[in-house]
Structure 1
Amino acid sequence: MGHVAANKDSLIKRVKRIAGQIQAVEKALESDADCAKTLHLVAATRGAINGLMEEIIEEHARAHVADPSLSAQARNKGVEELLEAIRRYSK
């Protein structure tokens, strides 16, 4: 997964921000915060996770599906991996 490693620092920063958002949701629940505020925090967290997922999907598609230098077998494997990740994510 070398293509992700090239963008590793950026991805790790995003994950750390998401972790902070999850902690904010936890604190809101623990402190009985207003439900509208809690919903806003959860929606923001979901958006951040969706953005992370989209970025990794795009990287995977470019490196393991669309790269013309790959064999047909390697591209088919890349497609299957991508579809499996999307199926799991959409459940």
Structure 2
Amino acid sequence: MSHLAAEKGALLKRVKRIAGQVQAIEKALVDEADCAATLFLVASARGAMNGLLDEIIKDHAWAHVAAPSLTDEERSKGMEELLEAIQRYSK
């Protein structure tokens, strides 16, 4: 995942934002907040997770599937990993 090093700061900011959103969900549940407000918190956290996943999938595709310097074997392995991640994501 060395290719993620260039995006490390931005990815970590996203993760910290997601952590804050999950803490807000926990607080809403503990405080017995309105269910609609809690749903919005969960939806926001889910959107943030999807955004993070999208960025990492994009980075993986460029580095391990589309890079011109890859061998056919490396490209095939990268594609298999990408498809496995997408299958898990879609469940």
TM range (shorter): over 0.9
Q: Distance in 2 between matches of 1:68 and 1:6?
A: 19
Letter in 2 for 1:46: R
Alignment of 1:11-90 (within 5 A): 11-90=11-90
Residue 2 of structure 2: aligned partner: 2
Which letter does structure 2 place at the counterpart of 1:24? A
Residue identity opposite 1:28 in structure 2? A
Return 5+ residue gaps in structure 1 as ranges.
none
Aligned residues: 91
Q: Secondary structure at the match of 1:27?
A: helix
The residue type paired with residue 74 of structure 1 is: E
Q: Give the distance between the partners of 1:22 and 1:89, measured in 2 at CA.
A: 19
SS of residue in 1 equivalent to 2:53: helix
Displacement over 3 Å in runs of 4+:
none
Q: What are the ranges of 5 or more consecutive residues in structure 2 without an aligned counterpart?
A: none
User: d(CA) in 1 for partners of 2:11 and 2:77?
Assistant: 24
Percent identity of equivalent pairs: 68
| RMSD between aligned residues | 0.6
Instruction: Please report the TM-score for the alignment, with normalisation by the length of structure 1.
Output: 0.97
TM-score normalised by structure 2 residue count: 0.97
Superposed displacement of residue 88, structure 1: 1.4
Give 1:69 shift: 1.1
1:30, 1:87 → 2: CA distance?
Answer: 34
